């Protein structure tokens, strides 16, 4: 199962350019778990054609450098000639200074040296989350992850939808050691009349039904906190 923190990427389409067909197939399969669609090309000429035909839906370009016909740097320069903003990632076995300087000039968001290990893949995905401002997922415990922008909780990889108010409350619980009753009223009911004690109890009861037992704790007379151990 894919880590819930990367679910924000599953509506993105990437163009992956790699002339090693075997490597391309393997990496495409991995990328396919994270992205909506993975378009592939075997060299810069092929990639340029595919990009022109699909530029309205391609969100990211990931390209090798050393390829037949047109190399990755030349291809990237051609793209930058009319698209200054699309994120470009260079993946290459080369560490020559000239290539690194070219990458800086092209404003690539990441330069990765081969082999493309699991750690490097995760670092790339994290960089894309940061670039697209999709890193709204919080790990509460080992088995519980929470995306406050999507109002979604993942419990042992099972997706649980939250109300907007539940999501705001969980975000507070993740940011503070304890969320007091006054904080709840201010942040959750700020534009409504102050809730009754019964309304707060009902709200907590419904949220607890979506959470594992004993994770949401009450400190008598103070407020609520999350037991993360």
Q: Which helix (H) or strand (E) holds 37?
A: strand 37-41
**Which stretch of DSSP H or E encloses residue 204?**
helix 197-208
Sequence ranges of the domains in the chain: 4-131, 137-226
Enter the tokens of residue 214: 């004993």
Confidence (pLDDT) at 158: 85
Claim: this prediction has a pTM higher than 0.85: no
Matching CATH number, 4-131, of 3.40.367.20, 3.40.50.2300, 1.20.120.80, 1.10.20.10: 3.40.50.2300
Terminal-residue alpha carbon distance, the chain: 23
Alpha helices by DSSP H, 96-179 = 97-105, 118-131, 164-175
Q: Can you name the CATH fold of 137-226?
A: Arc Repressor Mutant, subunit A (1.10.10)
216: Cβ contacts below 8 Å, ≥ 6 apart = 173, 204, 207, 208, 224, 226, 227
Q: Which residues does the chain have with pLDDT short of 70?
A: 1-4, 95-99, 134-136, 190-192, 228-229
What tens digit of pLDDT does each residue of 48-92 get? Answer: 999 999 999 999 999 999 999 999 999 999 999 999 999 999 998
């Amino acid at each position: 199962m894919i880590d819930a923190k990367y679910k924000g990427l599953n509506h993105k389409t990437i163009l992956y350019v790699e002339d090693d067909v075997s490597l391309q197939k393997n990496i495409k399969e991995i990328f396919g778990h994270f992205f909506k669609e993975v378009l592939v090309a075997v060299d810069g000429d092929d990639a340029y054609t595919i990009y022109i035909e699909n530029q309205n839906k391609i969100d990211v370009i990931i390209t090798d450098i050393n390829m037949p016909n047109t190399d990755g740097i030349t291809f990237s320069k051609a793209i930058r000639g009319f698209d200054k903003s699309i994120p470009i990632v260079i993946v290459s076995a080369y560490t020559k200074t000239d290539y690194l300087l070219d990458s800086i000039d092209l404003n690539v968001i990441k330069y990765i040296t081969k082999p493309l290990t699991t750690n490097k893949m995760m670092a790339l995905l994290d960089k894309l989350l940061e670039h697209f401002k999709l890193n709204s997922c919080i790990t509460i415990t080992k088995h519980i992850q929470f995306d406050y922008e999507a109002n979604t909780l993942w419990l042992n990889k099972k997706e649980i939808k939250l109300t907007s108010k539940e999501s705001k409350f969980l975000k507070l619980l993740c940011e503070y050691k304890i969320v007091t009753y006054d904080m709840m009223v201010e942040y959750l009911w700020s534009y409504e009349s102050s809730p009754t004690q019964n309304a707060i109890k009902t709200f907590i009861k419904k949220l607890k039904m979506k959470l594992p037992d004993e994770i949401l704790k009450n400190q008598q007379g103070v407020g609520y906190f999350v037991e993360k151990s």
